């Protein structure tokens, strides 16, 4: 058995019923909030945009912690490293595009 084909069998400690329930409740909440904000029209313009973005980021965090088990990873923490690199590249994309496009408001 030691020549296991799949590397994912190595770490078996995947969460508990409690952590899954908490994660599920959080992610449902974080879905309902933006929907109600948009559908009911409580907030408009910038305020609603901010709420949408904040809930989206929180949703990402919830998914990573409760379902992707980011905290339970053993060393070397490749998943965490990849995530950080991904975030850096995301920042490059967003900030870089804004910087480049600032001079290019031809369509406005």
Partner 1 sequence: MWERVKTFASEFFVTGDPLIYGADVSIVITILGIVIGLTYFNKWGWLWREWLTTVDHKKIGIMYILAAFIMLFRGGVDALLMRAQLAAPEMNLLPPDHYNQIFTTHGVIMILFMAMPFMFGLFNVMVPLQIGARDVAYPFLNALSFWLFFSGAMLFNLSFVIGGSPDAGWLAYPPYSGIMHNPGVGQDFYIWGIQISGIGSLMTGINFIVTILKMRAPGMKLMKMPMFPWSVLSSCIAIIFSFPILTATLALLFLDRYAGAHFFTLDGGGNPMMYINLIWMWGHPEVYIIVLPAFGIFSEIVSTFAKKKLFGYKSMVYAMMIISILSFLVWAHHFFTMGSGADVNAFFALTTMLIAIPTGVKVFNWLFTMFRGKITFETPMLWTMGFIPCFIVGGLTGVLLSVAPADFQFHNSYFLVAHFHQVIIGGVVFGYFAGLYYWWPKLFGFKLNERIGKWAFWFWNIGFYLCFMPQYALGLMGMTRRVVTYGWDKGWWEMNLVSTIGAGLMGIAFLFQVWQIVYSVKHLRKDETGDPWNGRTLEWSIPSPAPVYNFATLPHVTSQDEWWEEKQRRLQGHPAPAPVKIEPIHMPKNSGIPIVMSMFWFFTGFGFIFDWLWLAIPGLVGVAACMLVHSFNYDTDYYIPVEEIKRTESAIRGVTS
Q: Which residues bind partner 1 (CB under 8 A)?
A: 1, 3-7, 10, 78, 82, 85-86, 89, 92-93, 96-97, 99-108
- The minimum distance between CB 89 and partner 1, in angstroms, equals 5
Shorter beta-carbon distance to partner 1: residue 61 or 85? 85
Shorter beta-carbon distance to partner 1: residue 10 or 39? 10
Q: Are 97 and 68 in contact (CB under 8 A)?
A: no
- The minimum distance between CB 6 and partner 1, in angstroms, equals 7
- The minimum distance between CB 107 and partner 1, in angstroms, equals 4
Shorter beta-carbon distance to partner 1: residue 25 or 93? 93
Distance between CA atoms of residues 6 and 13, nearest Å: 16
- The minimum distance between CB 43 and partner 1, in angstroms, equals 22
Distance between CA atoms of residues 98 and 92, nearest Å: 10
Q: Please enumerate, as own/partner, the contacts of 17-20 that have beta carbons within 8 Å and a separation of 24 or more.
A: 19/66, 20/66, 20/67
Distance between CA atoms of residues 64 and 56, nearest Å: 12
């Amino acid at each position: 058995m030691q020549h296991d084909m799949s590397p994912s069998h190595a770490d078996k400690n995947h969460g508990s019923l409690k952590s899954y329930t908490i994660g599920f409740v959080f992610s449902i909440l974080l879905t309902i909030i933006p929907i109600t904000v948009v559908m009911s029209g409580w907030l408009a313009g910038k305020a609603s945009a901010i709420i949408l973005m904040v809930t989206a980021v929180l949703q990402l965090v919830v998914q990573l912690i409760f379902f992707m088990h980011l905290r339970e990873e053993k060393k070397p923490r490749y998943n965490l490293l990849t995530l950080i690199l991904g975030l850096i590249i995301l920042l490059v994309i967003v900030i870089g595009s804004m910087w480049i496009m600032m001079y290019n408001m031809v369509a406005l």
